[in-house]
Amino acid sequence: MLLKVGELAQRAGLTVRTLHHYDAIGLLTPSGRSESGYRLYGQVDVQRLHAIQTMRQMGLALNDITHLLEGDSVAPERIIGQQIRALDQQIAQATELRGRLTMLRDGLMAGAEPDMGNWLEALALMTTYGKYFSSAELKQIFSSWNLIEADWLIVKDLVQSAMDRQLPPDTPEVQALAYRWMGLMLHWMGGDLDLLERWGHMFRTEPSTQGRNHAPAGEMIEYIETAIKLRMALLEKYLTHDDLRTLGHVPHTDWAALEADVQQLLARAVPHQHPDAAAAALRWGALFDTLTRSSPELRQKLLTASASEPLLQAGSPLSAPVRSYLQAALAHAATANGSTEARPSAQG
């Protein structure tokens, strides 16, 4: 079956002028001519036209398509494959756009009517975020913010106070803040280190993201990251990246409550054999199980790291006297129960 140029144009949804142009540039030359000189297109020509239009939908220029199809018989399976890839690309782009529009809509519904400045700021930020994250990743990040917001605002103020007092990054106070900062960030990102590293990289390299919507300023990022790098360099001697991903999150308020309760036991000189001491030790064990997700291997690695690295102990959420008291209470409980295991470490 052969089609004249007008018939092919009508059935393919193109103009005769377009097909004439394709012929003129050598992109689609008809297989034959009628006795009257009319262009006649056969099945091979239609297959080639299908490939041309598929690649046009993919955004390729006509010159590029000409080079790609040179000497090619344009197999039907390749044509279909090209069209599937074009459709997949369009679906991905539409899904990405839908995700970004959804976030924008939700933001408008949650707040007041934005002015021009709000629109421009949102546009700039979304463009920047889009360099590093998909809309699905951004949705995950933004929707998880409420998990850490309250504690994050407190930690940020405490870090600013340490900066104002010019405390060195290796001091116990700053190391304790680095511990809290790391824990909050990992909890926020769902333990995804890759996501966390990309988020940090974006803030380090994109000044427009700094200091907005409770985000830290560049100086604070540099300060706390110096303290975190000291801890990470030590932790990585004992823990793998998989170990770090496994770590659970213990809210600082839980550590602080245990610290205050044990300080009261110490002030009252309650012996570590007392039932109140045993109860406190059990709470410590439960918090540590949450931190390690009840993994004996991970617990042992943290034990070793804490015992070997004074800097890690300096950043512990519990003070040294409280840790010593709880360790003694655990040892007594283990002896009384006929066990030799005392579980938590100097890290927690």
Residue 126 has pLDDT above 80, yes or no: no
Task: Enter the DSSP assignment of 40.
Answer: E
38-90 confidence digits (pLDDT tens): 899 998 888 888 888 877 876 778 887 887 777 655 565 666 676 677 667 66
Cα–Cα distance list, 48 to 30, 52, 200 (Å): 10, 6, 48
Q: Which of 198, 86, 67 is nearest to 134 (CA)?
A: 198
Q: Which amino acid makes up residue 132?
A: Y
Angle in degrees, 0-180, between the axes of helices 320-336 and 275-292, rounded to the nearest 10: 100
Inter-residue contact 47 to 79 (CB < 8 Å): yes
pLDDT above 70 as % of the chain: 80
Domain ranges of the chain: 1-110, 146-235, 252-336
pLDDT above 90 as % of the chain: 30
Residue 270 has pLDDT above 80, yes or no: yes
Cα–Cα distance list, 219 to 21, 139, 211, 240, 262 (Å): 60, 27, 10, 29, 36
Residue 226 has pLDDT above 80, yes or no: yes
Level-2 CATH architecture, domain 1-110: Orthogonal Bundle (1.10)
Q: How confident is the model at residue 147 (pLDDT cuts 50, 70, 90)?
A: confident
The most confident of the ranges 58-67, 94-103, 134-143, 231-240 is: 231-240
Residue 159 has pLDDT above 60, yes or no: yes
Inter-residue contact 311 to 178 (CB < 8 Å): no
Residue 231 has pLDDT above 70, yes or no: yes
Q: In this predicted structure, what is the pLDDT of residue 162?
A: 95
Q: Which of 277, 255, 254 is nearest to 266 (CA)?
A: 277
* pLDDT-wise least confident of 160-174, 219-233, 323-337: 323-337
The most confident of the ranges 65-69, 225-229, 333-337 is: 225-229
Q: Which of 76, 190, 67 is nearest to 136 (CA)?
A: 190
Q: In this predicted structure, what is the pLDDT of residue 212?
A: 64
Question: H-type helices in the chain, by residue range?
Answer: 5-12, 16-24, 43-57, 62-69, 76-110, 116-130, 135-143, 149-164, 172-188, 193-205, 218-235, 241-246, 252-267, 275-292, 296-308, 310-314, 320-336
Tell me, letter by letter, the H, E, C secondary structure of 75-137. CHHHHHHHHHHHHHHHHHHHHHHHHHHHHHHHHHHHCCCCCHHHHHHHHHHHHHHHCCCCHHH
Tokens of 190: 């769902």
Q: Is 0.85 surpassed by the pTM of this model?
A: no
Tokens of 341: 């295991």
Q: Which of 235, 343, 346 is nearest to 289 (CA)?
A: 343
Element at 39 (helix H, strand E): strand 39-41
- Mean pLDDT over 166-186 rounds to 91
Q: How confident is the model at residue 346 (pLDDT cuts 50, 70, 90)?
A: very low
